[in-house]
A and B are shown apart, each in its own frame.
Chain A
Amino acid sequence: MNMKTLNKFSLSRNKALVAYLIVLLLMIIAPLVIKDAFILRLFTTTYIFSIVCFGNMLVVGYTGMLCLGFVAFYGIGSYAGALAAKELGFGFLLSVLFAGIVAAIVGFVISLPCLRLSVDFVGLITTSFLNIFLAIARNWRSLTGGPNGVTGIPRPVIFGYRIASVTSFYYLMLIFMVLSFILLNNIIHSKYGRMLQGIRDNELGAVSVGVDSRKMKIFAFTVGSLFAGIAGSLYSFYISAINPDNFIFNISTQIMQMCVLGGMGSLPGAVIGAAFFTVVPELYRSLALYRIGLGGIIMVLCMLFRPQGLLGSRAFAGDKGFADRIKRARVVAQQKKAAAK
């Protein structure tokens, strides 16, 4: 009996692993096939955004805390990484690490007032925090460069190898994305991931079996911010100039939309959501202007037909979707018909 159970279990895991490896392979050979620098840049941006989405997913999709101003941690990482490289002369990897740690510390502090609040107030606090961050970024000119931001961020140099070409940036971001994915995926499939999801689904239920919900919420916020910070600094190095407009509320909304479309509680979903909202508006240039509007329409469609997003778990949606209601109404009608006969 138990053997059979185990076999079945490892089979489904292996299937996922095979799927991941195929996608990874495609990502690795993409630059060999696609010679269009424009498209490669879109993918590169996708990988960076995937990492922010992983962080957002951990906080919102896995722990159930509505962090609406998540782009703030991305912004903090961007500035921290850029300034570390430019002003402190840190190397690339050290700057990225520094950016992640700074963002994580800030995330840790912001998580504290969020612990005892309901979901909507967590949304309010994090939104206000984003506004505070933007105010500082715009006004503390001596540090942040004010509205002009930080320019002339040096090109990354790793072990003597200078990253400058489109292809080398592509692989650099791919490596960071894959590493982030593996680490977070490991966390999510461990007891820590179970505890986070337990808190999301039913906090009191989780506490009743010994989960320390305060500690785990702080953990999610801190680790989520860490990855946002890392992604932010990668972004700085990639575009070599940042300013406060890169981190406005719209971007936060977009990060959330990426996660919702991909599926709350799914890391691969984060990549798909990031890819969709990065690539589609750019491919159809006329759509780019309506990026947020497009996001809105997709959100409405999601809510109606697939509340759990593309890859989110079915159960996550409950039975609140419009399509579900229609299905249920049909079943009820059929039952009535059958009863009438």
Chain B
Amino acid sequence: MNDLKIVLFICNWGPHAAFQMLQDSCRHMPHQVRMIRIPCSGRMSRALLFKAFETGADGVALVGCEPGSCRYGSGTGIAERNVQDTRGILELLGLGKDRLRLATFLPEQSEALLEFLQQFHADVERMGKSPVIPVPKTQPGESGRDLAARILTSHDIYACQDCGKCSSACPMSLCGKPFSPRAMAGSIIGGNIGSASVVSDVWSCLTCGICYDRCPSAVDFPRFIRDMRQVHRRAGTAGQEAHEGFFQALMRTMTSPDLDIRHWDWLPEDIQVDGQSKTLFFGGCAPYFDTFFGRTLGVKTCDILIDSLRLLNFFDIFPALLPGERCCGHDLLWTGDRDSFIRLARLNVDAIEERGIEEVVTSCPECYRTLAIDYPEHGIPISFKVTHIFDLAEKEIDKGAIGFEKLNRTLTFQDPCRLARLGGPGELPRKLISRLKPRGFEEMRDRGNSALCCGNCAWTGCDSYTKALQVKRLRQARETGSNLLVTACPKCQIHLRCAMEDPFLGDEIRMEMMDLTSIVARTIRWE
């Protein structure tokens, strides 16, 4: 029965010599261990390490050179950090961090290497097979051309009057990228689906929705792009995934039904939840984001979840949580992996309905839109109501007897696209902000319907142009003279924080950020 798959990534330099020694002397190694020779342990990114698990590995050992003996100097240190982050992710997924190990050996330590491999094999054997079922490659099925034709008609792209309003408003075009939604639509209508420029354009769009907002014929570019990505994914021309596709791989992994996900293990004890409640709080992927970006960007998006729950508790709402909550699937849907999206949606809806939940509350704009709009739109009806926490908070505060403590900051607000333009309660954030007691509130030049994107959507197409867009946005924020940039989406925080790391601009665009839910929760008071 022993069909375990153990991958050994071994550095070409020190430890590979030790490994060869074992081979040369015909030492018995567990046959489940498959060796892959790599140039340096530091080159094994988190995405590469994780992809081994996505594709069915039961255990992964990364073996590098002893600290100080790295041929490139910093390899071992980088490997340590990458392994640590990836172990955090494995732990959240319930796979267990011990399925990934890092070890270092000198060329002459072949005995120690053998011992390590035997021990690791025994450990993995004890943990058993991984519950991850690799997602099969999508079958081509319908031809790309037919599918594209269907997508063109269903989104009525032919209604385009060639007026150019979309291209003149598109933030990608405006920050200098040779990119035009109108031209792209024209090419696709002309049957030019697979050309390099169309592929690149389809993967560059931010699906931010400004063009849709402006278009006199209501050509729905975001949905059109979303579906075109399906065509390209099937044709194998998916691309430009940020972080080497780490997040898409993570989300695809979550489609395995037998995972024992541990989404909420880290929750502080003072938060009151009630497993019997008919109201469920759906958190979203913040724990994964913090594990992945915590060290590099210092973002704490889990605070948004904690503050959301504290706010619910303040209103005497003690919600249920799904211990095995999965990603809502937003990013898979918007990067063309409809099949995996549907698998995730099913798993989530089944888990929610099994508990007899009547209302799902969420503070993530993407989860909100995905659950409320995209699940039903993709043939997964929901029997519960989906409420954005802003909506709930506004109703509770409006009942009266609630006020806010003074906040000695001047605020400005970054609209998340999924609230401002694509299906969310667009006006609510400002209503809530008007209830707060900050020193001031200054709007950015582009706001509300016209707000600029934080620079990325669904972890695809991050490049120097999107960076330019982010810098432009942060300059707008700084121009307001405000000293606190209020966000309402965990990803806005991540992408904007990332842009602030620019070593050349640095202080010029740096700004403190805080989620609106956190500000509300931290200043709300009974009167």
A complexed with B: no
Residue numbers of B with Cβ under 8 A of A are none
Residue numbers of A with Cβ under 8 A of B are none
